[in-house]
Amino acid sequence: MKPNIMPVSLGNYPTPIIKLERLSKELGKSIYVKRDDYSGIELSGNKTRKLEYSLGEAISKGADTIITCGAVQSNHARATVSACRVLGLDVHLVLRTKDGKEPEEKEGNNLLDYIFGAKITYLSEEEFKNYNEVMENIKNSYLSEGKNPYLIPVGASNGVGTLGYFNGYEEILNQEKNLNISFDSIVCTIGSGGTFAGLWLGNEIHNELKNIIGISISEGSDYFKEKVQNILKETSIYFDIDFKDILKKSESSLDIVGGYQGGGYAISTKEERDFIEEIALKEGIIFDPVYTGKAFRGLVSEIKNGGFQDSENILFIHTGGIFGSFSYHKSDS
């Protein structure tokens, strides 16, 4: 089943699937990680897959300038900048800082935004509440210069970006055959919902009976259930099939786990950082402090608390975020 849109090619696929041997022994389950952190365009993680579709649509519409937004350390914003440079497109970011000023010391993702020469508009937390309006204004000013701008929403978690993980799901089905493993559960981080929505949709369209589980790192689960339902409605226009039953099912059967956001979005607690170090030491794999560290900690806690009873083989999607590690070393709570 292919969506009716041509993606651009940005990533290195298939991304490897590895088994965490020592953790698996400890938990009595087989824990696998899909290394989507290796996806490509400067280790852009899950954003590479989404941008292949968002930018595919942009190019098919003749766009020359991409506008998107996020927090100052946004992986998505930086991934968009590097992808635009690969494709020869101009890029304008709307980024949120505490006071709306440009950071004096550039670090992490934001440093890369500069190296790639992105145009950046900084907004304070208050101003950022109207980011959609700000992006529309920027879009209009490009239009009046005779440019052809294309807007990508937060995290590229809209109908088109989500197709990247519908495609990623199909990649997993192929890898299952090659590796001779059947995953009972696929677990991912939820930051804005697109990754989860794409995996869930793949599972539905392919009539698989896997558990697709999202672990939120910011808002509670009800917020994301609604968000994901809305994304799925948008995604339906890219398929030539009837989505009625799929959308109906999404109203009652989205498995989204809350409670692991700790101090909130992009705030890293000592327990979370200790967990990231424990896994790094045990398995030689680094999870990031904003997304995957929290979600993977959630997965391990759920298993230790007796969850995942019906799952022997569990696949966690490593959605990337390494550059976050180079700026959150200072964050504390």
Q: How far apart are CA 333 and CA 95, in angstroms?
A: 23
The residue (of 261 and 319) whose beta carbon lies closer to ligand PLP is 319
The residue (of 246 and 322) whose beta carbon lies closer to ligand PLP is 322
Residue that has been written with the tokens 């698989």 in this structure = 208
Q: What are phi and psi of 64, to 5 degrees?
A: -120, -15
Q: How far apart are CA 185 and CA 213, in angstroms?
A: 7
Any bridge partners for residue 213, and if so which? 187, 255
Residue that has been written with the tokens 């490593």 in this structure = 318
Site residues (vs ligand PLP, CB under 6 A)? 45-46, 75-76, 155, 157, 189-196, 288, 291-292, 319-321
Q: Is the dihedral of CA 126, 267, 75, 50 positive or negative?
A: negative
Residue 306 Cβ vs ligand PLP, minimum distance, rounded to whole Å = 26
Residues in the chain: 333
- Record the tokens describing residue 198, joined without a space: 């794409």
74 has catalytic annotation: yes
User: Taking Cα atoms as reference points, which of 117, 123, 194, 214 lies closest to residue 154?
Assistant: 194
Residue 138 Cβ vs ligand PLP, minimum distance, rounded to whole Å = 22
The residue (of 137 and 263) whose beta carbon lies closer to ligand PLP is 263
The residue (of 43 and 120) whose beta carbon lies closer to ligand PLP is 43
Residue 162 Cβ vs ligand PLP, minimum distance, rounded to whole Å = 8
Residue 18 Cβ vs ligand PLP, minimum distance, rounded to whole Å = 17
| Contact indicator for 72, 181 with CB cutoff of 8 Å | no
Active site residue: 74, 185, 216, 218, which one?
Answer: 74
User: Taking Cα atoms as reference points, which of 307, 263, 258, 317 lies closest to residue 289?
Assistant: 263
Residue 242 Cβ vs ligand PLP, minimum distance, rounded to whole Å = 25
In three-state secondary structure terms, 264 is coil
The residue (of 202 and 321) whose beta carbon lies closer to ligand PLP is 321
Indicate which residues carry an active-site annotation. 74
